[in-house]
């Protein structure tokens, strides 16, 4: 077949490939702001203790606030079941073969929830440190969790997610000694990919660090609402 | 592997952009991928071929430009390109910085098209893939 005689022309586009997700996320963020919902997106590898940490946080917050959680999972309802024990409103998002949550899934899951009746919304992303990085979910804060058993160099293996996060949490601190966790090496690793990122050390089992983390979250919610004028 | 989702998003916005630009045929898509985008180039190239099957882009080429990390060094007051995604230190003075200016992009930067072809609409004339991917019923 002959090449056609048409003149090739280059048209500049300059659009983010995930433009649609970004637009949806911006719309969600606006709704959250207006309703006064503070949203936290939790990302980690499977087994980093995200669900255990979140269950503890939800239980404590539920005493004083209206809390809710959306849990992204490939198939089972296991994590959502555990989270429900905290007394929070919990909904599972089954992603099937999709390895991350997208803004559209969040929007759909919120259809029958009254946002004005929620103070804190936690989104537990699918256990994966690669794919969720590019997908804005309209959250206020993105938190990346690492456990002491995952190896101190792990942040360096996932520079993209660490760079997209607002803070990091080290989980299972009660096992640090047993796991031979070297604190300095971990901090060295995470600061290499993200100098100055805030890091919190917690243990859901002993309760270490959880109270402090929650106090800070409450302070942030207040500050955010003062700025937004919804307090 | 999220590259497949990304490839579908790419195909979707490219089809819309081609229509808006009045391109009847798309020969190539130019994409910028930051080394901090979290997207693997090889996986995206592979997924792209899958994602454009049966779309007006079928047969188009994907040309990926990888964008290195550029940070702002507060000590030098200069933008600096890093030889590797980390450590996030100024390659000149060694100062630490977390201010990423470039390297996160995942962008459809341009489309290469032609105004007309042999009359096959938007499909390239030499597309011989149709028999390799029979429609499943
Ligand atoms: Zn410098």
Residues A85 and A56 sit within 8 Å (Cβ to Cβ) = no
Q: Is the Cβ pair B108, A6 closer than 8 Å? A: no
pLDDT (tens place) for every residue of chain B, 137 residues total: 689 999 999 999 999 999 999 998 999 999 999 999 999 999 999 999 999 999 999 999 999 999 999 999 999 999 999 999 889 999 999 999 989 999 999 999 999 997 554 334 444 433 333 333 333 33
Q: Does A187 touch chain B (CB under 8 A)?
A: no
What gap in Å lies between CA B95 and CA A100, rounded to an integer?
A: 35
Distance of CA A64 to the CA centre of its chain: 22
What gap in Å lies between CA A197 and CA A201, rounded to an integer?
A: 13
Interface-testing mutation among A17, A19, A157, with chain B (most B C-beta atoms within 10 A): A17
What gap in Å lies between CA A145 and CA A49, rounded to an integer?
A: 8
Strands (E), chain A: 9-16, 38-44, 67-73, 89-94, 120-124, 141-147, 167-171, 198-201
Q: What is the 3-state secondary structure (H, E, C) of A161-175?
A: HHHHCCEEEEECHHH
Interface confidence, given as ipTM, is 0.84
When the pLDDT of each residue in chain A is averaged and rounded to a whole number, the result is: 93
Flag whether the pTM goes above 0.80.
yes
CA–CA distance from A145 to each of A54, A121, A132, A200, A231 (Å)?
11, 17, 13, 9, 30
Q: Is the Cβ pair A194, B39 closer than 8 Å? A: no
Span from the CA of B71 to the centroid of ligand 1 (angstroms): 10
Span from the CA of B32 to the centroid of ligand 1 (angstroms): 26
Q: Chain A contacts of B38, Cβ < 8 Å?
A: 130-131, 133-134, 160-161
Q: Does B96 touch chain A (CB under 8 A)?
A: yes
């Amino acid at each position: 077949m002959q090449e056609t005689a048409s003149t090739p022309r280059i048209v500049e586009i300059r659009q983010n490939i995930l433009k649609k997700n970004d637009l949806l996320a911006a719309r969600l963020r606006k709704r959250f702001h207006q309703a006064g919902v503070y949203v936290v997106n939790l990302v980690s590898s499977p087994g980093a203790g995200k669900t255990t940490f979140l269950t503890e946080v939800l239980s404590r917050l539920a005493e004083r606030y209206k809390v809710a959680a959306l849990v992204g999972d490939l198939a089972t309802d296991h994590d959502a079941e555990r989270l429900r024990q905290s007394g929070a409103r919990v909904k599972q998002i089954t992603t099937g073969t999709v390895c991350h949550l997208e803004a559209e899934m969040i929007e759909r899951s919120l259809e029958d929830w009254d946002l004005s009746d929620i103070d804190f919304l936690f989104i537990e992303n699918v256990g994966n440190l690669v794919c969720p990085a590019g997908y804005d979910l309209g959250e206020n804060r993105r938190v990346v969790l690492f456990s002491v058993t995952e190896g101190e160099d792990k942040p360096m293996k996932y520079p993209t997610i660490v760079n997209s996060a607002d803070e990091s949490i080290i989980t299972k601190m009660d096992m640090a000694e047993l796991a031979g966790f070297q604190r300095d090496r971990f901090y060295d690793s995470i600061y290499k990919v993200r100098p100055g990122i805030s890091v919190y050390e917690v243990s859901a089992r002993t309760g270490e660090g959880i109270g402090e983390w929650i106090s800070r979250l409450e302070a942030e919610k207040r500050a955010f609402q003062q700025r937004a004028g919804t307090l | 592997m999220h590259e497949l989702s990304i490839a579908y998003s790419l195909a979707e916005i490219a089809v819309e952009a081609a229509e808006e630009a009045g391109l009847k045929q798309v020969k190539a898509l130019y994409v910028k991928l930051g080394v901090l985008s979290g997207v693997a180039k090889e996986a995206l190239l592979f997924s792209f071929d899958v994602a454009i099957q049966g779309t007006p882009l079928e047969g188009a080429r994907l040309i990926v430009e990888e964008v290195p990390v550029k940070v702002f060094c507060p000590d030098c007051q200069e933008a600096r390109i890093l030889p590797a995604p980390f450590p996030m230190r100024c390659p000149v003075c060694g100062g630490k910085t977390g201010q990423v200016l470039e390297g996160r992009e995942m962008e459809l930067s341009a489309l290469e098209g032609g105004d007309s072809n042999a009359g096959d609409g938007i499909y390239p004339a030499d597309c011989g893939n149709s028999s390799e991917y029979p429609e499943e019923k």
